[in-house]
Amino acid sequence: MSRTARLLELMQLLRRHRRPVTAATLAEKLRISVRSVYRDVATLQQQGVPIDGEAGLGYLLRPGYVLPPLTFTQDELEALVLGLRWSGVQDDAPLAAAAHDALAKIAAVLPGEARIAMQTSGLLVPGRRPGTPPDDRLTLVRRAIRDERKLRLDYVDLKGHPSTRTVWPIALGFFEKVRMLVAWCELRGGFRHFRADLIGAAAPLPEPLPRRRAVLLAEWRAERGIPDPP
């Protein structure tokens, strides 16, 4: 690996961490010495990359820094295409449209051979059934999660029992056959999971979440023993 490529990979590694990461950890991932990490970090800092920290304490790339454009590997490109194609067939119409737009933007800036490889990728996803209408509930729930607002739900559980809940939405799980809302339920006083197809109606409320969504999500993960995503 050239030093230029190594410096870019170092920035990518730092961007993946939200907390300071030690030079030893970076050295192990880059397969270089700790001393080389110190030199590379110093080089990046001299070039204006906002890396906080110091030797012995760990390093953190300050939020908001935009990395220079990178050339995708074939595996990275296939992962992007597969994920965006899958997003493009969801019942959440704005999300599906955004996936199609993102694919077009990526294709527009790729060099010729990479663009052809992207457009002819053999990784396919099932299409939406013809005539299936968009599900506005998914869009509403997703935006409430993003805006950190409470939701009022009319819900019918798997036993057919109806209820009206005020919830704090924190995540939306996209499983093969169902979409699952993760939320703190004020009625039950704890985290609950709600199948999107069993939500009769949903209305956003003006109240913000009492605690930041990231905090609630971390509490839910800890309660369920779910590790943080990479």
Q: Return the CATH fold of 3-61.
A: Arc Repressor Mutant, subunit A (1.10.10)
Least confident piece of the model among 68-77, 125-134, 202-211: 68-77
Look at residue 91 and tell me whether its pLDDT is greater than 70.
yes
Task: Catalogue the E-assigned strands of the chain.
Answer: 51-54, 58-61, 149-156, 162-174, 179-185, 190-195, 199-208
Domains of the chain, by residue range, sit at 3-61, 74-119, 136-224
Decide the pairing of beta strands 51-54 and 179-185.
Answer: unpaired
Q: Give the separation between CA 70 and CA 87, rounded to whole angstroms.
A: 23
pLDDT tens figures, 14-58: 888 888 999 999 999 999 999 999 999 999 998 888 999 877 789
Architecture of domain 136-224: Roll (2.30)
What is the pTM assigned to this prediction?
0.67
CA-CA distances (angstroms) from residue 168 to 95, 161, 180?
21, 21, 14
Nearest CA among 168, 164, 154 for reference residue 217: 168
pLDDT tens figures, 174-216: 998 899 999 999 999 999 999 999 999 999 999 999 999 999 9
